[in-house]
Amino acid sequence: MTENKEPKGKCGGCASNKKDDRLLYGKLDVYDWLSDVPESVLCPDIVEVKFKNTRKGFFSNSNQLRLQRGDVIALEASPGHDIGIVTLTGDLVVEQMRKQKLNPKTYEAKKIYRKAKPVDIEKWHEAIALEHKTMIKARQLSAELKLNMKIGDVEYQGDKTKAIFYYIADDRVDFRQLIKVLAEQFKIRIEMRQIGARQEAGRIGGIGPCGRELCCSTWITNFVSVTTNAARYQEISLNPQKLAGQCGKLKCCLNFELDCYIDAQKDFPNTNIPLETKDGTAYHQKTDIFKRLMWYSYDKYNTINMVQLSVDTVKDIIKQNKKGIKVNKLVTEFVAEPKKTLEYENVVGQDSLNRFDSVEKPAAKKAKRKFRRKPRKNNNSSES
């Protein structure tokens, strides 16, 4: 039996309350849409478990443990046992397996032994503390052996009997001598696993040119190939310095809006077709896809005296050219854009938002008239 209870103080899509410094929060989490629905009878006892970075696996809950999302568990590994965190239970695990093209009926899942004990977790954290030191030492050893490779990350197994060394290399590398040296140095079983430049950037992390954290280190788990056609469809200049990401490859975000651009250009005419006019031949220069505007110029290599035309007008001109009719002249078509007016409602009862900005000069003080005091008449002098 498994149960899906959301961690207290967090929503269903957040990470678990169990802290693992090796895991990037939110990257491997799965939102359980069926958390408040009872499990079906045919639901297999398979649990999805996450490890470091992009590594996930499906394991069999043969011991019928009451597991919920966020539990730290000890599970079968070769050799020994490993420690992982439960990310998903219930019927959605089957859908996750189908997504990765795995058959739940024929898949041979390894077993879950138990919930992790304090001793297991303590040993697991000791293994985590060794990963950075091991990576630095492995880089030094590979440099001494003059191997054309870069070790980007190290992941220890939960029981400290095995370590996976992730490396990146352009060509094939013979690292048999390196494995012998590493096994003698660390007294563990060594597994070398090659990754690509995108996976390495996702493991290291960083800030992209957009000012946000890299997508590959926050939420992207499956990397799709990116080509320069994605930039051509979106009318982006083919500047390799601007199109390349932290990994040196084309940015993954070039594919994010590609489908919208392809759908918008379905009825666009071919830009390689010139427009025949009586003044000469006009060639395509640029396109505003979402405004459905195209610019043509009589000079093929210079953007001088460009004429702005709508897509429908260009299609009509091409139809006339196919019939052998030349247009008299290309006339720029201006598209009137609606002016955006910001409406302000005086909901607070105040006259203006910038009423304190203007400082009025104080009024000039009126000059006081000086009155001369008349001399007092001396009665004594008058009487005399």
- DSSP states along 159-199: TSSEEEEEEE-SS----HHHHHHHHHHH-SEEEEEE--HHH
Average pLDDT in the chain? 82
* 76-107 pLDDT per residue, tens: 998 889 999 998 888 888 888 888 888 888 88
Q: What percentage of residues in the chain have a pLDDT greater than 70?
A: 79
With 0-12 / 13-18 / 19 or more C-beta atoms within 10 angstroms meaning exposed / middle / buried, residue 35 is middle
Cα angle 328, 334, 336 (rounded to 5 degrees) comes to 155
Give the per-residue pLDDT at 94: 87
Q: Which helix (H) or strand (E) holds 316?
A: helix 311-322
Which of 28-32, 169-173, 222-226, 340-344 shows the lowest per-residue confidence on average (mean pLDDT)? 340-344
Which of 7-21, 199-213, 259-273, 331-345 shows the lowest per-residue confidence on average (mean pLDDT)? 7-21
Above 60 in pLDDT, residue 342?
A: yes
| Amino acid identity for residue 3 in this structure | E
* 288-327 pLDDT per residue, tens: 999 899 999 998 888 888 899 999 999 999 999 999 999 8
Give the per-residue pLDDT at 374: 64
| Mean local confidence (pLDDT), 213-228 | 85
Give the per-residue pLDDT at 365: 58
Above 80 in pLDDT, residue 221?
A: no
pTM, to two decimals: 0.66
Give the per-residue pLDDT at 95: 87
- Tell me the CA distances in angstroms from 85 to 155, 234, 300, 327, one per residue in order: 15, 41, 61, 70
* 228-246 pLDDT per residue, tens: 999 989 988 888 888 999 8
| Mean local confidence (pLDDT), 53-75 | 87
